[in-house]
Amino acid sequence: MNEFVETLLDLTWHEPKKSYDVVIIGAGGHGLATAWNLATKHGITNVAVLEANYIGSGNTGRNTTIIRANYGIPESVRFYQRSLDLYRALEGETGCSIVHSTKGLLWLAHTESGMRAERARALMNQACGAETVMITPEEALELCPQLDLSGGGRYPVLGASYHPGGATARHDRVVWAYAQGAMRQGVHVVPHTPVVGLLRDGERVVGVQTSSGPISAGVVLSAVGGRVTTVAAMADLRLPIRTHPLQALVTNAYAPGFGPIVASSELLCYVSQTGRGQMLMGAEFDSQPSYSMQSSYEFLQTVSTRMIHMLPFLRNLRILRQWAGICDISPDYSPIMGFTGVEGLLITTGWGTWGFKAIPAGGEAMAELIATGVTPKLIAAFGLSRFAADHAMADQGSAGTR
Amino acid sequence: MLWITCPTCGERPVSEFRFGGELPHVPDSIIDADAHNLDWVWMQNNVDGITTERWFHVAGCRRWLTLRRDTSTDRVV
Ligand SMILES: Cc1cc2nc3c(=O)[nH]c(=O)nc-3n(C[C@H](O)[C@H](O)[C@H](O)COP(=O)(O)OP(=O)(O)OC[C@H]3O[C@@H](n4cnc5c(N)ncnc54)[C@H](O)[C@@H]3O)c2cc1C
Ligand SMILES: [Zn+2]
């Protein structure tokens, strides 16, 4: 979304004040959801969300919108299930349509080891409160008649884990539901105002330096996606984050009604149909870290070849657009949320290629932490201090699809 | 797309290589031994600019090489 939308909405825009209780850096999903929760759930409205570019210009405006909870470790499954539930209620809570649609997610397995991994995932999910079941190839075909069960002769479908709660939502509508909701409560959302430094009082962070002057703050939250290393460095904070590009593509429209989201653990790619009928696809992130948002022809080749093994009808469609975003990848594929060891500075990062689905629960938890000063149980395992404590939260369930 | 010049095999596409990570560089300001180890193992400079890193030519000569790359443009320098 862009200035066009900003002017269409009936909202009051503010120049930033000299001081706030809470300053949030980055108007992506996580920053805005935190602001919205602070204002609506905790009555904290003296809050600014400062955005370098236009609102939602980061990964929240670039992702493939998949929402799911079938992760690989109990802490993640519980967290993402909470987010999946909050997404279901978001339209009612904000009064904004986010084009939320529960479609179910089919995760195909093409080898015996793939089947073992999916079985383990299904059992783990059930035990932790997310619904995931193993199904046969025939059942998969019933859910998605376009599947080629022989996998083009090379990737036969041996079975699949099925996650009925898998869903999608319009990403820019999610951004604006939170932005609008927060602004109506008095939060200042300020576009085109990059944070270029952090104000310090000794070690403590006491505000931000922006393109339009200093702003003091009781607490600063960094919610800047792939640019987190730069912002953390302003407080001499070192992070285990690598910034990798992730690409996606859409085709022209296919007959509406393509059922579930389809992913494959071995082919490492996934597809869903958008509200306009376009087929929206993604794969794994670029292997080398980079801040360049260039997309590549190689990505188109790889994704197309793999997808056609699963869904041969795709060969008749045309690619309309491709794009990239830069993702904050953590070493254990789990988020990093909460205190940083630097007083006055909090972070929400490590959202990598999987953080859109996490926006409602991430925002809820970070707002609670800011309001109460206590880390909520749901995110206790995801603190930055886990690396020093040798408690990395390796989650294979993050990868493969987003 | 990124092309990498391998000392043995010449200029090859990035898909033939495995990224081996940036060369760890712990800031001089970190003197405490535990903090130093923590930084060495986990922390990343992750610069938006020129970085020195290791790559493995997995689908070629299967040797390691050191590369200087500008991460803001994704070009070898
Ligand atoms: C192609 C692609 C597909 C994806 N698919 C999925 C998916 O299907 N499902 C899923 O769950 N996740 C997916 N993701 C990941 C998801 O999009 C992100 O994890 C999520 O949007 C992160 O939200 P955020 O608010 O942390 O960051 P962002 O949305 O990136 O917001 C950060 C904001 O901070 C701003 N900023 C940066 N530096 C500064 C500064 N110094 N001062 C002020 N502002 C600053 C940026 O301009 C940006 O607007 C995908 C990502 C990509 C790129
Ligand atoms: Zn070589």
CB A67 within 8 A of CB A42: no
- Residue B27 tokens read as 């800031």
Determine the residue of A2, A59, A247 to mutate for testing ligand 1's pocket, defined as the one with the most ligand atoms within 8 A of the Cβ atom.
A59
CB A51 within 8 A of CB A57: yes
Which is it for strands A19-25 and A213-222: parallel, antiparallel or unpaired? Answer: parallel
Q: What is the pLDDT of residue A10?
A: 79
Per-residue burial over B33-59, b if 16 or more Cβ lie within 10 Å, else e, is eeeeebbeebbbbbbbeebebebbbee
Nearest-CA distance B6 → chain A (Å): 16
Q: What is the DSSP letter of A87?
A: H
Q: Phi and psi (nearest 5°) for A262? A: -120, 130
Distance, CA of B59 to CA of B57 (rounded, Å): 6
Determine the residue of A60, A71, A98, A196 to mutate for testing ligand 1's pocket, defined as the one with the most ligand atoms within 8 A of the Cβ atom.
A60
Strand partners, A347: A222, A338
Is the CB of A171 inside a 6 Å radius of any atom of ligand 1?
A: no
Angle, vertex CA A362, rays to CA A358 and CA A364, nearest 5? 130
CB A350 within 8 A of CB A282: no
Distance, CA of A79 to CA of A276 (rounded, Å): 30
User: What ipTM was reported for this prediction?
Assistant: 0.96
pTM across the whole model:
0.96
Report which protein residue has its CA nearest ligand 1's atom 27: A225
Burial, A116: exposed, middle or buried (Cβ in 10 Å; 0-12, 13-18, 19+)? exposed
| Single-letter code of the amino acid located at A361 | A
Nearest to A241 by CA among A336, A124, A366, A105: A336
How many other CB atoms are there within 10 angstroms of residue A12's CB atom?
A: 8
Q: In Å, how far are A120, A134, A290, A353 from A125, measured between CA atoms?
A: 9, 11, 34, 21
Q: What is the DSSP letter of A125?
A: H
SS3 B3: strand
Distance, CA of B34 to CA of A94 (rounded, Å): 47
Chains A–B, number of C-beta pairs less than 8 Å apart? 61
Q: Phi and psi (nearest 5°) for A134? A: -85, 140
**Which of B13, B19, B72 lies at the smallest CB-CB distance from A291?**
B72
* pLDDT (tens place) for every residue of chain B, 77 residues total: 899 999 999 999 999 999 999 999 999 999 999 999 999 999 999 999 999 999 999 999 999 999 999 999 999 99
Residues listed for chain B = 77
Instruction: Going from the first residue of chain A to its last (402 residues), give the mean pLDDT of each consecutive group of 10, the final group possibly shorter.
Output: 62 94 98 98 98 97 97 96 98 95 97 94 96 98 97 96 98 97 97 98 97 96 98 98 97 94 93 96 94 94 95 97 97 97 98 97 98 98 97 82 48
CB A83 within 8 A of CB A237: no
Q: What is the pLDDT of residue A261?
A: 98
The count of C-alpha atoms lying within 13 angstroms of the C-alpha of A203, restricted to the half-sphere facing its C-beta, is: 5
Which of A228, A241, A247, A290 to mutate against chain B (most B CBs within 10 Å)? A290
Q: What is the DSSP letter of B24?
A: P
Q: What is the pLDDT of residue A265?
A: 83
Q: Phi and psi (nearest 5°) for A317? A: -95, 165
**Which of A239, A288, A290 lies at the smallest CB-CB distance from B44?**
A239
Nearest-CA distance B46 → chain A (Å): 6
